[in-house]
Structure formats: structure tokens, C-alpha cells
């Protein structure tokens, strides 16, 4: 498997880390800045609102018109700010992608430096008067963010998965949304939020990722003065925690007016990213529900015709595995039984070699794709930096190559059914007993 590029890691300041990813195939340079902390009630709403305000401009570019004009002047650069989470870790994510200066006909050597200056201004002087964010911007973003949260209610697949996590992980940070809770929005004022933002810059972990075809030494020198404000030692990044399965398994039924039911089955694995059994868990998940060749797709859709889609995925930083399927409400118990039988057959070692090889081929394709998918590689590397698991795409692949049937059986026996969630509805819909 070909490497995903050269990686260099440099501490820039207290709790600030620069990660250089040299990949010759790109003609742009991408900068990703992450400011994060453990998910906490209330604070998650603050981070979500700040991320939206950091898209609204700076003190010198105080409106979207001037901001967009400036971005266009950087030869059509692309900028966005967002909020996201990995496991129990929530982070503000700033992304700026610029053309590599060596491809400019006029050899404009100011593009990158202007881009860096802009990012510093976004962080240190966002749109406002220096004492507060612009109050009208905050009011607008409260409304837009609340609408975004409400609109997710209409995406029933996403809604069902979030509800299963909430029920399964009640009292755990992972159950919280990265977008916050609208119930907290009214109490947030523009001055308080700017103070909160400055506190993040002073004391929270900051990771800066740069990817493109550049000289790492030059890029390191360029970023030397990027963080020049006073910093305090940040709190340690929360390490993933395994919550033991306490049982018994639960079933949660929720009614809404909808035609197609959404089923989510949540399992605790006791296996986290970076653990010895993690590569086997990755492979087992692909055998179970990785794609159209997986067991779930074959038995639920092709053989039984019970679902429109079926898949499984692993939450690597929480030790959770989820099976999701879109079904008819009346087939819930039948579909659930088939899934449980397939997991039990994995526990008993009824695994064909072709299933393992098919899963390996799928994983190899996805890992190879990281070299060309900057967003996916960025998330992979951020997870690695947070946990320090010593993984890389190449190392993970080498570990997966060594996984055998005995390893898969051992991991399958770690799966403990925790919560079964069904979102159902529609006129006359019934759940078969």
C-alpha cells in the first residue's frame, strides 16, 4: 500500500501543535485549525455558536460581501468554519484552501501570507467591536443554528442514530450533540461569547494541519510566529473510556408520522481505537455491514427483502458498534432476529475466507483513498493526534493483513447488545410481535 504522504509534527507553543502533511499530488495548500475540548453541556452550545460567527468575517472584513471579495482575491480560495466531534471530543474547525503559489503565472508570493494573516484575524479579531461579537450576527446565528438542529429532525436516518446514542449513552459525553442545545442559546450574549472565545484561544488545545506540496522546513518557519499570544497549559485531552455493559439489553420504540421505519441496534465492544483488537474490530465490522457484499445486505435485503438498506459502523473512540437499517415496522422483530443470528454465527466462527478477503479489499480501497481525500485524512490524523494510538493508514493496513478467523471470533464475542431503537410510524403501522 502506498504511503498517504510525509508527516511531520512540531510543537508551536504551549498546547499548540503543527502537523505538516506533504502530498505532491495537490496543487493547493490546505490549512485546518482545530480548537477543541471534551463535550460538556452548555459549553457545547458556545462552541457551536462561535464556529458560525467565525464564518461571518473579521473586524476589517465585517460583512459577507467584503469577506467573499477578499477570498476571491486570493485566486478563488475556499474558507469555512464548522463545529464537529470525534467521540467525546468537540472541536471548532477552520479550513482555508489556497492555490499553491508556484502555479501562479505572475508568481504572486503573497497569497499564502495573506491567507495566514486572515486566519489570525479570524481568531483574534472576529467581526465585532473588540468587546463583543456583532450582536445582530449572534442573533441571526442563534436562529440559523436552531433551524439546523430542527431540520436534522427531518433526516430520519440521522435522527434515529442520534436518538439511539442518546438512549444508549445517557449521562455520557458522547450522547451530546456538537451543535449544542437551543435551550441554552437565549442566555448567551455577544460580550460573554467573545470572552469565552478568547478563553479557548488561551487555554484549549489547538491543532494546525497543513497539507500540500511544500517544503516542510519552509512551512515550519512560516508558522513560527503564527501563535504569538499568551497561552496556558491546556487540560489533558479526555481519553476514550470504556463503559462496561451493565445490561439488560433494552428496546426503545418511538412513534412519528413516517412511512419507513428506522432501526438502530447499539452494541458495546470494549475495544477502542489503538487497542490490540481494534484492527480485528474494523475488519469484523466490514464483514458484517461494510458494503453491498456484507452479511447484512445479503441476508436482510437480497434474501429476505426486509430492508431498503442495511449497514454497520464503529465509533472508534467510544467502543460502540451500530447496525442501521430502513425497514417496514411490521418486520422489526424478524429483521432484528436475522441480525442477531448473523452476529452469533460470527461468534461461533462461521466465517468464510472470501468474506475476509472481500472486507480486506474494501478497507484497502478506503485507506488508499485517504491519500486523495483531504477531509478524511484530516479526521484520521486528528483522531490519531488526540489518542496517540501510534496508527497510520499503512500501519493499520499491516495490522489488518494479519487478522485471522480466530481474531474475528474473539472480537465478535466482545459484542454486547445494549440498546435496540426503532423509529416507526405511518397510518396503521404495527410492530410485529
Is the previous residue joined to 415 through a cis bond, with omega within 30 degrees of 0?
no
How many whole angstroms separate alpha carbon 388 and alpha carbon 404? 26
CB of 42 within 8 A of CB of 184?
yes
Q: What is the dihedral of CA 275, 280, 282, 286, to 10 degrees?
A: -170
In angstroms, the Cα distances linking 425 to 258, 262, 272, 328, 429 are 5, 10, 35, 9, 6
In the three-class reduction of DSSP (H, G, I as helix; E, B as strand; rest coil), residue 184 is classed as helix
Q: Which grid coordinates are listed for 211?
A: 497539507
Q: What is the pLDDT of residue 1?
A: 56
Same topology between domain 6-223 and domain 250-424: yes
pTM: 0.92
Q: Which has the closest alpha carbon to 49: 124, 135, 141?
A: 141
Domain boundaries, the chain: 6-223, 250-424
b/e burial code for range 362-381 (CB count within 10 A of at least 16 → b): bbeebbeebbeebebbbbbb
- Quickly name the fold that domain 6-223 has: Cytochrome Bc1 Complex; Chain A, domain 1 (3.30.830)
Q: What is the pLDDT of residue 257?
A: 84
CA 7 to chain centre: 21
Along the chain (433 residues), what's the average pLDDT of each consecutive run of 10 residues? 72 94 91 95 97 97 95 94 94 97 79 95 96 97 95 89 94 92 95 97 96 93 91 79 80 90 95 92 95 88 85 92 94 95 96 94 90 88 80 87 96 96 72 49
How many residues are there in the chain?
Answer: 433
The partner residues of 115 in beta bridges, in order of sequence, read none
Under CATH, domain 250-424 is a member of which superfamily? Metalloenzyme, LuxS/M16 peptidase-like (3.30.830.10)
Amino acid at each position: 500500500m502506498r504511503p498517504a504522504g510525509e508527516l511531520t509534527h512540531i510543537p508551536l507553543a504551549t498546547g499548540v501543535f503543527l502537523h505538516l502533511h506533504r502530498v505532491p499530488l495537490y496543487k493547493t495548500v490546505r490549512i485546518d485549525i482545530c480548537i477543541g475540548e471534551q463535550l460538556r453541556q452548555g459549553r457545547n452550545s458556545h462552541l457551536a455558536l462561535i464556529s458560525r460567527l467565525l464564518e461571518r468575517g473579521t473586524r476589517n472584513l465585517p460583512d459577507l460581501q467584503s469577506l467573499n471579495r477578499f477570498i476571491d482575491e486570493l485566486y478563488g480560495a475556499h474558507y469555512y468554519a464548522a463545529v464537529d466531534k470525534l467521540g467525546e471530543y468537540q472541536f471548532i474547525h477552520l479550513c482555508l484552501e489556497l492555490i499553491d503559489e508556484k502555479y501562479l503565472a505572475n508568481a504572486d508570493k503573497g497569497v499564502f501570507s495573506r491567507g495566514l494573516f486572515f486566519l489570525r484575524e479570524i481568531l483574534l479579531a472576529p467581526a465585532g467591536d473588540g468587546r463583543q461579537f456583532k450582536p445582530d450576527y449572534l442573533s441571526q446565528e442563534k436562529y440559523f443554528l436552531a433551524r439546523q438542529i430542527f431540520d436534522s429532525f427531518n433526516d430520519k436516518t440521522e435522527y434515529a442514530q442520534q436518538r439511539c446514542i442518546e438512549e444508549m449513552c445517557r449521562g455520557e459525553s458522547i450522547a451530546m450533540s456538537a451543535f449544542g442545545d437551543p435551550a441554552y442559546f437565549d442566555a448567551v450574549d455577544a460580550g460573554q461569547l467573545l470572552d469565552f472565545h478568547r478563553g479557548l484561544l488561551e487555554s484549549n488545545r489547538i491543532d494546525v494541519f497543513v497539507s500540500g506540496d511544500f517544503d516542510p522546513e519552509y512551512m515550519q518557519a512560516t508558522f513560527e510566529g503564527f501563535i504569538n499570544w499568551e497561552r496556558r497549559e491546556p487540560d489533558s485531552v479526555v481519553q476514550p473510556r470504556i463503559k462496561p455493559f451493565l445490561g439488560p439489553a433494552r428496546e426503545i420504540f418511538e412513534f412519528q408520522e413516517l412511512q419507513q421505519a428506522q432501526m438502530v441496534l447499539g452494541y458495546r465492544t470494549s475495544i477502542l481505537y489503538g487497542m490490540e483488537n481494534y484492527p480485528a474490530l474494523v475488519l469484523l465490522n466490514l464483514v458484517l455491514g461494510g458494503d453491498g457484499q456484507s452479511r447484512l445486505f445479503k441476508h436482510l435485503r437480497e434474501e429476505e427483502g426486509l430492508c431498503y438498506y442495511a449497514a454497520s459502523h464503529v465509533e472508534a473512540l467510544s467502543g460502540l458498534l451500530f447496525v442501521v437499517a430502513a425497514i417496514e415496522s411490521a418486520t422489526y422483530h424478524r429483521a432484528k432476529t436475522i441480525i442477531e443470528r448473523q452476529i452469533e454465527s460470527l461468534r461461533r466462527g462461521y466465517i468464510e475466507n472470501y468474506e475476509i478477503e472481500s472486507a480486506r479489499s474494501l478497507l484497502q480501497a478506503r485507506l488508499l483513498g485517504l491519500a486523495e481525500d483531504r477531509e478524511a485524512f484530516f479526521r484520521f490524523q486528528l483522531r490519531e493526534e488526540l489518542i496517540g494510538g501510534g496508527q497510520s493508514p499503512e500501519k493499520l493496513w499491516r495490522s489488518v493483513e494479519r487478522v485471522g478467523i480466530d481474531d474475528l471470533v474473539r472480537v465478535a464475542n466482545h459484542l454486547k447488545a445494549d440498546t435496540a431503537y426503532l423509529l416507526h410510524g405511518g397510518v396503521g403501522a404495527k410492530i410485529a410481535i
